[in-house]
Amino acid sequence: MPIIAQVIGGAGTGKTTYLLGVMDKLIDIGADPMKIGFVSFTKAAVKEAADRAGSRFNVDPGVLSRDGYFKTLHAMCYMLLDVRSETLITDDQKSKKWIAEAIGEKIGNEDESDPFSSHTESGIALMLWHCARNRLEPYEAAWQRASCTDERTPSYSFCRSVVEKYEHYKVLDNKVDFTDLLGSYAGYKFRIDGVEQRPPRGDVPQVDAWFLDECQDNSALSDAVARRLSQKSKYVYLVADPFQAIYGWSGASPGHFMNWDVLPKNKQILQQTYRCPSPIIRLGEGILKGCSDYWDRGIKPAEHSGSVENDIFNGSWISSVRPDQSWLLIARTNFQANRIGKRLDALNIPWRNSGKGNNKWNAPVRHKTILALLALERGQAITGDEWLSILKNIRSRNGKVYFSRGTKKEWEQKDVSGMLTDLEHIADWGGTADFVKLVKTHAWRTRIEGTSEYMEALDQWGYAATAEPQVKVGTVHSVKGAEADNVVLLTSISHQILRGQDSQGGFDEERRVEYVAVTRAKERLIICNERNSVKKGMAMMHGMDY
């Protein structure tokens, strides 16, 4: 039996740094870095751990991830089960097309902040199937839970028919999804009316020590995988913050982490946050006291000063936002996050999405073209790569021919590295007299969407802040694990989220969501409410003393 240690760390307490310190000690006593395993739920978390471990142990991080055991839980099962890539259903376009053909409808896109918002009815049905399998429960139980809180839930008969078609065509086409991989490794066979146990597939690796990160987000299924992975190891380090568990909609529960059999002497709480000063920690803990399972972890605030302020969505807070400063602008749903983005766009403040998706400020090809044309206009030289970008984005119109015939095709096939030219010599690269006139008269500025806004931002904020703005906008789920000097939290919620809090489990989860949101702030936290919408705001933000 392995020695199991449980490490609980609040927001900003340095859980990853602590883990690397433990790894250091294992290396000192002779452990092989290639026999140390690190598992988390996101590629970003695994990459960060591999990069830091590789630097510390003088091992290529790519080797740790590719040949070792620094992987996401799903990637670990994929490797141990030796699954062929062509059989796996992923979130890529090819898989989405296969699903659409199998069930007769597109499924939509994933939105962790509101899983129903961007899904079709068939997509909702499959999302509930994912949830039921994660919970190791009958499909009807997952459907019943959803239908009680969200009127967008399709009928049970419809949902069941979608799942049956999905599973039918998986068998016909020899396909599996990632949840199937977890089930196979843990020893479960999924059926619509429940699960049945069967002999697990795949080997249990000979790993000396496992570091299982973000365990508060484990479901019954992923917890079973983690327990099997660790059967042959000497040490298991479980790392979590039970009060940052915010994926209950997909079956996650902090109870799985808390239920591991750990000796009291092997339990440790990291009590010093290095991120959140006193006002922010006080607010965060005050929110958590609303949870039915709250207990005081004794988190001590960071030594630096900080503040918590109140404002309204259309208030003056936005005048403080600068793209050359560290800002996170957070909302509960993507709909509300988009409202924040529109306010920033109205003031021409560059920003980036914290999760998936692009906006007008995250358009590198377009912006490269604008900067290249601006350089030519100013008599400066451009590179071959920049010229190729111009060729792809400037089209002939009104009888004007800007490039010699075949220029674009020629440049797409040549090695453009190390090449330089300016407007005076652009004919050598295929630019015509019409193109030279286009640049000299500034007429090109009307040919590329967003040119005027981008150039205004360059003038106001400079190149670095415009090209790589430090302002990020997203949902609470998309910023989990992130931090910023300044955080703005829009408290507006949907009526579905409000209804979801009718159950104790839903109420507790929303308190944890709020805690995650406010503890992203290192210095300044601005709580933004709607002017007359207290009932539709995050409940624990109203009337609190901070």
Residue, of 113 and 104, whose pLDDT is higher: 104
Region 167-172: mean pLDDT is 96
Do 369 and 329 lie in a common domain? Answer: no
Tell me the pLDDT band of 111, cut-offs 50, 70 and 90: low
- pLDDT confidence of residue 157: 97
pLDDT tens figures, 69-81: 999 999 999 999 9
Residue 202 counted as an annotated binding residue: no
Taking 60 as the threshold, does the pLDDT of residue 534 lie above it?
Answer: no
Q: Is the pLDDT of residue 544 over 60?
A: no
- Do 209 and 193 reside in the same domain of the chain? no
| Residue 14 is labelled as binding a ligand | yes
Residues 19 and 527 sit within 8 Å (Cβ to Cβ):
no
Residue 10 is assigned to a ligand binding site: yes
Name the band, by pLDDT with cuts 50, 70 and 90, for residue 541.
low
Same domain for 344 and 475: yes
Those residues whose C-beta lies under 8 Å from the C-beta of residue 357, and which sit 6 or more positions away, are: none
Same domain? For 286 and 407 the reply is: no
Which residues, 6 or more positions from 46, have their beta carbon under 8 angstroms from its beta carbon? 38, 39, 40, 65, 70, 71, 72, 75
Encoded amino acid at 260, one letter: W
* 11 annotated to a ligand binding site: yes
Domain boundary among 463, 487, 502: 463
Same domain, 386 and 322: no
350/401 same-domain check: no
Residues 39 and 136 in one domain: no
Domain count, the chain: 4
Collapsed DSSP state (helix, strand, coil) of residue 8? strand
> How much is the pLDDT for 535?
45
Do residue 452 and residue 374 come from a single domain? yes
pLDDT of 19 above 80: yes
> For the chain, what is the mean pLDDT?
92
User: According to the model, what pLDDT value does residue 546 have?
Assistant: 46
Label residue 543 by pLDDT band (50, 70, 90).
very low
| Strand, coil or helix: 58 | coil
Number of other residues whose CB lies within 10 A of the CB of residue 298: 10
* pLDDT of 283: 97
Q: For the ranges 104-113, 253-262, 375-384, 459-468, which has the lowest average pLDDT?
A: 104-113
* 441 annotated to a ligand binding site: no
CATH of the domain at 220: 3.40.50.300
Q: Which helix (H) or strand (E) holds 526?
A: strand 521-529
Range of the domain at 189: 86-197
Single residue among 270, 293, 323 that ends a domain in this structure: 270
**What's the CA gap between 318 and 320, in Å, rounded?**
5
Judgement on whether residues 92 and 193 belong to the same structural domain of the protein: yes
Which one is predicted more confidently, 182 or 28?
Answer: 182
User: How confident is the model at residue 380, as a pLDDT?
Assistant: 96
pLDDT at 403: 96
For the four alpha carbons of 218, 220, 226 and 231, in that order, the dihedral sign comes to positive
Q: What is the pLDDT of residue 475?
A: 95
- The verdict on whether residue 357 carries a ligand-binding annotation is no
pLDDT at 110 over 70: no
Q: Are 38 and 211 in contact (CB under 8 A)?
A: yes
Measured between alpha carbons, how far is 15 from 269 in angstroms, rounded to an integer? 10
HEC assignment per residue over 114-177:
CCCCCECHHHHHHHHHHHHHHHCCCHHHHHHHHHHHCCCCCCHHHHHHHHHHHHHHHHHCCCEE
Phi and psi torsions of 190, nearest 5°: -90, 130
Q: Do 477 and 342 lie in a common domain? A: yes
- Return all residues near 440 (Cβ < 8 A) that are at least 6 apart: 377, 423
The yes-or-no verdict on residue 109 having pLDDT over 70 is no
285: phi then psi, degrees, rounded to nearest 5: -65, -35
Distance CA 534, CA 202 (A): 52
**Distance between CA 182 and CA 134 in Å, rounded?**
9
**Rounded Cα distance, 190 and 177, in Å:** 12
Q: Which two tokens stand for residue 142?
A: 């997952």
Q: CA angle, corner 191, sides to 84 and 109, nearest 5? A: 60
Q: Percent of the chain scored above 70 by pLDDT?
A: 95
Query: Domain boundary residue among 166, 197, 228?
Result: 197
pLDDT at 206 over 50: yes
Same domain membership, residue 90 and residue 77:
no
Give the tens place of pLDDT for each residue, 475-522. Answer: 999 999 899 999 999 999 988 899 889 999 999 999 999 999 999 999
Higher-pLDDT residue of 399, 9: 9
Reply yes or no on whether the pLDDT at 25 is more than 70. yes
Q: What is the pLDDT of residues 382-407, one digit of tens each?
A: 999 999 999 999 988 888 999 999 99
Residue 116 has a pLDDT of 47
Residues 343 and 424 in one domain: no
pLDDT in tens, 304-321: 999 999 999 999 999 999
